[in-house]
Structure formats: C-alpha cells, structure tokens
Amino acid sequence: MFGADLTQIAFLVTVVLAVGGIVSAVILPLLADDPAKDRLKAVSSAEGGKKTSGLSGFRARFAEDTKDVRRKQIQESLNQVADREKQRKRRVTLSMALKQAGLDITVRSFWMISAGFGLFAGVLAKGFGAPLYLAGALAFVGALGIPRWFIGFLRKRRQSIFMNDFADAIDVMVRGLKSGLPVSEAMKIIATESGPPVGPEFMEVVEGQRVGITIDQGVERMVERIPLPEVNFLAIVMTIQTKTGGNLSEALGNLSRVLRDRKRMKQKVKAVSQEAKSSAAIIGSLPFIIMGALTILNPNYLKPLIDTHTGNIIIVCSITWMTIGVLVMRKMINFQI
C-alpha cells in the first residue's frame, strides 16, 4: 500500500515539474520584456536623435562611412600585396636570379658558360692525375655548383649595396615631394643622381611610366629584381597611396626612419655575431691548414690518402662531413632580420 502511494506522489511531482518547465520556457518569456526589443528601441531612438541633429549628424555619419571605406581599401591593398609576396617567395627561376644578380645574359648563355667551366675543371683535375670519379665530381661541381654560388654571391652583394643607399634615396624623394615636385620627377632625380644599383632600378620605374606602367606597378617590379623586405615596404606605401590617397611625403618619411632603424639593427646583430663567425671560419679552415703544413713538412706522410683507394674514400668522407659541419655552423650564425 505504501509503495503505491509513493508511486503516485512521484508521478505528481514529475507532472508538476514538467508543467513548471513548460511555463518557464514558453509563457514567462512572452510576459517579460524582450531585451532585444529594448536594444532595438534604444538604437532607433539614438538614430532618431542623430536625424534630428541636422547637418552635424550627417557630417559625422559621412566621416565614419569614409573611414570605413578607406580602411576597407587599405585592407584589400594589403591582402593583394601579401598574395604577391607569397608568389614571389616561391622558387626563383634562373632568369630572375640572373636579373637579381645584375647580369645581362640569357639562360642559354649561362648554361653554356657553366658547361665550359665544368669541362675545364674536369680536364684540369684529370691532368693532375686525379681518378676518373674524382675528376667527374669536380666537373659536376664546376658546372652546377660554382656558377650558382657565383650568382648567389653577386645577388647578395648587389642587394647589400642597394640597401646602403636606399634610405638616402627615400630621403631625396621626401624632400622633392615637400618642395612640390611630383613623384615621377622625384624618382627621376634619384635615377640620375644615385649610383648603381639604386639609380638604374629607379630609372626602370621612370622609363616604365613612358609605356603606360604606373608607379606602384613599377615599384612592384623592382621588388622582383630586388627581393628585400625594405623594397616591399616601399611597394606597400605606393600601393596604398595610389588607391586610398594620403600624405605621401609623411608616409615615406616614416618609411625612411624604419629603414634606418632596421639598418642599425642589422649592423648591431652583425657586430654581435662576428665572434661566432670568426670561430666558425677558424674551425672550418683548420683541417686544410694542417693538411697543407704536413704536405710541406713531410710530403710522404699523407701520400697513402692520395695513392690508395681507401685513402681516397677517407678524403671524400672527410670532405663530406666537413661540408655538413660548415653548413650547420653557417646556419647557426646566420641571423635573418
């Protein structure tokens, strides 16, 4: 009997809880004030107050809309520049590498020069009595390794020279704009007064305007020939100024200060890392110095390394491991900013 009463009581409690949940979920929100409606009324009243404010409210809304449009245009320009930068960071073609190195030769001429250099290295090694496989390895390095390294060396040297004069060129452009000259005339002054490679690069931009290339497009092409972040900064400034307007002399002045700060930071990092670079150079050159000294003092001491097959294998393995060690040390001390 007690069990049946307990079951009825539990059923009644369940029904009461269910009815209470339905009332709280459906009926009470209909009776209570809707916060969304309250916020909508507040916004409507604020807009009504703005409408009644007359000309001042219209000016405020117009200024806010103009700022939003300008922000949107700047964001679109930055997105386009970022997309182009991602495309540039892909593998550089040989023709573009030759342009970046400042070499006015074709890809075909480069391959012919490389093949001739590799053949010369192989024949020279064979003439000195080197084994055939060693002469072939030297010919391969002479045909593909050394010419590529030489192009990379020319690229870095050209970019370094460009960076030393780039901030001064931006300052010349700023002074020209403040004196009332147009951008093209300011760039023409840089092209005629600055030395290579800054002068010829700006001359390319000036000459491009004669065939219908805009200034921002010309600067983007300069980024392809001089792939440096600092030149990319100039391309971003010119792109934003072309599409959204603004004070170009002030923007370029800020860019000049940024370039000089980055240059000082690079020089500081170079000075701090110079000790590590010197140590790496000493460690990398020490085996060759000792080998040369032993060859002069006791020529027969290292003869087994050259005359025997096992000695040749030891030389190849040693050079391989030394190259790996030098590359690892170079990666550790090469700081990118």
- Is the CB of residue 120 less than 8 Å from the CB of residue 142? yes
Computed over every residue of the chain, the mean pLDDT equals: 78
**pLDDT tens by residue, 66-122:** 556 556 655 665 566 556 666 655 667 888 888 888 888 888 999 999 999 889 988
Report residue 26 CA to chain centroid gap.
59
Q: Taking 70 as the threshold, does the pLDDT of residue 14 lie above it?
A: no
Q: How far apart are CA 106 and CA 112, in angstroms?
A: 10
Q: Taking 50 as the threshold, does the pLDDT of residue 1 lie above it?
A: no
- Look up the pTM and report it: 0.62
HSE (side-chain half, CA atoms, 13 Å) at 15? 6
**pLDDT tens by residue, 248-275:** 888 888 888 988 888 888 888 888 888 8
pLDDT at 326: 82
Lowest mean pLDDT among 25-34, 138-147, 282-291: 25-34
Percent of residues, the chain, with pLDDT higher than 70: 72
Q: Taking 70 as the threshold, does the pLDDT of residue 165 lie above it?
A: yes
pLDDT at 221: 87
pLDDT at 16: 58
Query: CB within 8 A of 123, min separation 6: which ones?
Result: 135
